[in-house]
């Protein structure tokens, strides 16, 4: 019986904010942010509930880049 080979296919990258795998988005310092999270980030202001989540993710991004 002939051997079969397996191939792994990656469909997009994992978003640093929502943790979902998406095909379209923005690469920031070797980290991926999907289009929907990017659009949401642009629309946020300091009073929004999700604002702190994005701030934490951006801090993690800079910490990982520096250290």
pLDDT for position 16: 87
Query: Which pLDDT tens digit goes with each residue over 21-62?
Result: 999 998 877 888 999 999 998 999 999 988 988 888 888 776
pLDDT for position 39: 93
Q: What is the pTM of this model?
A: 0.68
CA–CA separation, 21 vs 16, rounded Å? 10
Q: What angle do CA 7, 12, 15 make, to 5 degrees?
A: 135
Q: State the sign of the Cα–Cα–Cα–Cα dihedral 32, 36, 41, 47.
A: negative
Decide if pLDDT at 67 tops 60.
no
pLDDT for position 31: 84
């Amino acid at each position: 019986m002939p051997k079969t080979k397996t191939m792994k296919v990656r469909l997009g990258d994992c978003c640093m904010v929502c943790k979902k795998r998406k095909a379209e988005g923005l690469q920031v310092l070797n980290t991926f942010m999907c289009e929907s999270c990017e659009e949401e980030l642009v629309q946020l202001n300091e009073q929004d509930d999700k604002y702190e989540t994005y701030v934490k993710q951006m801090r993690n991004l800079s910490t990982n880049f520096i250290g």
